[in-house]
Structure 1
Amino acid sequence: MSAASPVLVVTRLDDATADVVVEELGRRSVPVVRLAPGDFPATTTVAARAEGPRLTGEVLTGTRSVALDAVRSVYWRRPRPYSAPDGLKGPDADWCAQQAHHGLGGILTTLPGAHYVNHPWRNRAAEYKPAQLTVAARCGLHVPPTLLTNDVERARQFIRDHGPAIYKPLYNGEYVGPDGQGLTVWVEEVAMADVDTGVAHTMHLFQTRVDKVVDVRLTAVGNQLFAVRIDGSPGLDWRRHYDDLHYSLIDTPPDVAKGVHEYLAAFGLAYGAFDFGLDAAGRWHWYECNPNGQFAWFPDPITGRITAALADQLQYSSDRDGR
Structure 2
Amino acid sequence: MDGRPVLVSTQVEDATADLVITELNQRRVPVLRLDPGRDFPDPAVLSARMGPDGWSGVLTVGQRTVDLGSVRALYHRRPNVYAPDDDSQSSKFAAQENRRGLGGVLASLPGCLYLSHPQSIARAEYKPVQLATARRFGFMVPATLITSDPAEAKTFTAEQPTLYKPLHAADYDVGGEPAGIWAAPVEPGELDHAVSRCAHLFQAQVPKTADVRAVVVGDRVFCVRIKSPPGVVDWRAHYRNLSYEAMACPEEIRSGLLRFLADFGLGFGAFDFAVTAEGAWWFLECNPNGQWAWLEAAADLPITAAMADLLENGEARRD
Q: TM-score, normalised by structure 1?
A: 0.93
Does residue 272 of the first structure (1) align with residue 269 of the second (2)?
A: yes
Contact 1:295-1:303 at 8 Å conserved across structures? no
Indicate yes or no: 2:177 matched with 1:181.
yes
**Of the candidates 175, 181, 186, which is equivalent to residue 190 of structure 1?**
186
Can you give the 5+ residue segments of structure 1 that lack an aligned partner in the other structure? Answer: none
Amino acid aligned to 1:81: V
Looking at structure 2, the residues matched to 22 and 168 of structure 1 have their Cα atoms a distance apart, in angstroms, of: 34
1:299 CA drift (Å): 4.8
Q: Give distance in 2, aligned partners of 1:240 and 1:301.
A: 17
Say which SS state the counterpart of residue 298 (structure 1) adopts: helix
Tell me which of 210, 217, 221 is aligned to 1:214. 210
Q: What is the aligned counterpart of 2:133 among 123, 132, 135?
A: 135
Aligned partners of 1:182 and 1:150: how far apart in 2? 26
Distance 1:89 1:202, change over 3 A: closer
Q: How many aligned residue pairs are there?
A: 314
Residue in structure 2 matched with residue 288 of structure 1 by the alignment: 285
Separation in structure 2 between the aligned mates of residue 180 and residue 99 of structure 1, nearest angstrom: 32
User: Displacement, 1:84?
Assistant: 3.9
Q: 1:229 to 1:299 in 2, by over 3 A?
A: same
- Following superposition, the deviation at residue 303 of structure 1 comes to 6.2
Percent identity between matched residues is: 42
Aligned to 1:125: 123
Cα–Cα, structure 1 residues 303 and 29, in superposed 2: closer, same or farther, change >3 Å? farther
Contact 1:82–1:100 at 8 Å: present in 2 too? yes
1:312 aligns with 2:309: yes
Aligned partners of 2:261, 2:221: CA distance in 1, in Å?
12
Matched, 1:172 2:169: yes
Indicate conservation of the 8 Å contact 2:296/2:303, yes or no.
no
Cα deviations by residue, 1:159-185 (Å, 9 ceiling, x for unpaired): 122x200000111112234x4332321
Cα offset, 1:53, TM superposition: 4.8
Query: Equivalent residue of 2:75, what SS?
Result: strand
Kindly indicate whether the alpha-carbon contact (under 8 Å) linking 1:141 and 1:286 is maintained by their aligned counterparts in 2.
Answer: yes
Secondary structure in 1 matching 2:221: strand
8 Å Cα contact 2:272-2:284 kept in structure 1: yes
- How far apart, in 1, do the equivalents of 2:58 and 2:243 lie? 45
* Residue matched to 1:13: 12
Question: Are 2:227 and 2:244, in contact at CA under 8 Å, matched by a contact in 1?
Answer: yes
Partner of 1:147: 145
Within the candidate set 248, 255, 259, 1:258 is matched to 255
Structure 2 counterpart of 1:58: 58
Which letter maps to 1:12?
Q
Query: What runs of 5+ residues in structure 2 fail to find an aligned partner?
Result: none
Residue deviations 1:21-50, cap 9 Å, x none? Answer: 111111111111111112111211111112
Following superposition of structure 1 onto structure 2, how do residues 60-75 of structure 1 map, counting pairs within 5 Å? 60-75=60-75
Shift of 1:232: 2.5
1:44 aligns with 2:44: yes
- TM-score, length of structure 2 as denominator length: 0.94
What does the per-residue CA deviation read over 1:180-200, in whole Å, with 9 as the maximum and x for residues that have no partner?
332321111111011111110
Preserved contact between residue 166 and residue 208 of structure 1 (Cα < 8 Å)? yes
SS at match of 2:246: strand
Which of 177, 198, 201 is matched with 1:205 structurally? 201
Equivalent-residue separation in structure 1 for 2:300 and 2:292 (angstroms):
6
CA RMSD of aligned residues (A): 1.7
Checking the alignment, whether the CA contact within 8 Å between 1:77 and 1:292 is kept in structure 2 is yes
CA 1:195–1:124 in 2, change beyond 3 Å: closer, same or farther? same
1:298 and 2:267 matched: no
